Amino acid sequence: MNAVLTSPARLKMADTSLTEDEIQAAVAVLRSGALRQGKQCDAFEAEFAALAGARHAVSSANGSAALHLAYMTFLQPGDEVLVPAFTFIATGSMVAAAGGRPVFCDVHPETFLLDLNDAEKKLTARTRALSPVHLFGNPCDLDAAQAFAARHRLRLVWDAAQAHGARWRGRELGGCGDFVAYSFYPTKNLFVGEGGMTCTPSEEAARRLRGLRSHGETGKYLHAMLGLNYRMTDVEAAIGRRQLLRLEAMLAARRRHAEILRRGLEPLPGLHLQQVLPGGEPGWHQFCFWVDEREFGCSRDQLAQALAAAGIDTGVHYPRGLHQQPIFRELYGDQSLPVTEKLAANILAVPVHHGLPAGGAERIVAAIAAAGKKK
């Protein structure tokens, strides 16, 4: 009994609990009976646009839809889009869903972000867009990506699904490029259940996004475009609006935890932490590093087991590159991307979220250091 009472709480990978205020905001919408996309969505879009530094923000059913809608506005069949291979499936699959072809590029070994040198080698006459990912909330170099896109006359579509609240040289990320797509999936920095947002500086693009998310309807039962039903509901929007009020506090907690993890783990031989570019202010969606088994003394999987035994959950984001996914191998054939493959085999994420209890980050550092010492 005593052991149960004194054993420290399990540290999970995410805290997806809503506050009482957020629950009440959802309940008020449920009571009103106005469940579909309506005033709450309009207000959430305006408030999110202000936060993200965007001119227009268009809500949708999820982050994948937010990307898909962006591509649907301009992609032609067979157009190629340069994407990093080390990311979540939707970064590539939404290009394919819109009729394009994702072209997988390797990532940088220290930042884990799209390597523009590799992207340059993969340009063809069919390349229409560049789509970098602010992976784990770690901002890419906006200026370099913008210059690359301008030099090669490409659209710039950002996958910012994991990067709410991150900044580049003091700028919000939502105002850069042609489209910036966010997700509000429960593990994300801002979470409403399912939801997404596409930001754009173009009024015309915003109009098309709004049409495409609602069956291309331009009047009652009048359809000028082939669209989808990708609408968010007012229930999620009401939660999102309330949660925006605590986003800064949640981000501050993530940054505090990340700093403790960074200071504790950086000196350990054999752990290679995701590096932040000078000018980047991450949102710390995930805290990731890769494990050099020989130097550290045990493998990524052995470390994960040791942490599980110490009551600490971990995650592997991602166990394979997009080019290693069966569906993409089938569609586009075999390809070798060495940095992505090395990361996929050795990467580990530890909890960094806003809900970690006091002392939680220190406990993670101590457990990792102990696992490394055992050899």
Ligand X SMILES: Cc1ncc(COP(=O)(O)O)c(C=O)c1O
Site residues (vs ligand X, CB under 6 A) = 62-64, 87-88, 90-91, 133, 159, 161-162, 183, 185, 196
Residues in the chain: 375
Give the separation between CA 7 and CA 29, rounded to whole angstroms.
41
Task: Rank residues 87 and 214 by Cβ distance to ligand X and give the closer one.
Answer: 87
User: How far apart are CB 205 and ligand X at their closest, in Å?
Assistant: 19
User: How far apart are CB 174 and ligand X at their closest, in Å?
Assistant: 15
Task: Rank residues 91 and 274 by Cβ distance to ligand X and give the closer one.
Answer: 91
Task: Rank residues 137 and 227 by Cβ distance to ligand X and give the closer one.
Answer: 137
Q: Which residue has 């901002």 as its token pair?
A: 139
Task: Rank residues 67 and 238 by Cβ distance to ligand X and give the closer one.
Answer: 67
Give the separation between CA 82 and CA 323, rounded to whole angstroms.
13
Give the separation between CA 47 and CA 33, rounded to whole angstroms.
23
* Residue with the shortest CB distance to ligand X: 63
Number of Cβ within 10 Å of residue 104's Cβ equals: 24
Task: Check residue 264 and report its DSSP letter.
Answer: H
Task: Rank residues 88 and 296 by Cβ distance to ligand X and give the closer one.
Answer: 88
User: How far apart are CB 236 and ligand X at their closest, in Å?
Assistant: 11
| Strand, helix or coil for residue 224 | coil
- Give me the phi and psi of 152, to 5 degrees please: -105, 10
Give the separation between CA 53 and CA 46, rounded to whole angstroms.
11
User: How far apart are CB 197 and ligand X at their closest, in Å?
Assistant: 10
User: How far apart are CB 136 and ligand X at their closest, in Å?
Assistant: 9
Q: Please give the torsion angle defined by the CA atoms of residues 353, 354, 358 and 359, in that order, rounded to the nearest 10 degrees.
A: 20
| Strand, helix or coil for residue 278 | coil
User: How far apart are CB 12 and ligand X at their closest, in Å?
Assistant: 17
Task: Rank residues 113 and 304 by Cβ distance to ligand X and give the closer one.
Answer: 113
- Give me the phi and psi of 370, to 5 degrees please: -65, -40
Contact status, residue 181 vs residue 90, Cβ threshold 8 Å: no
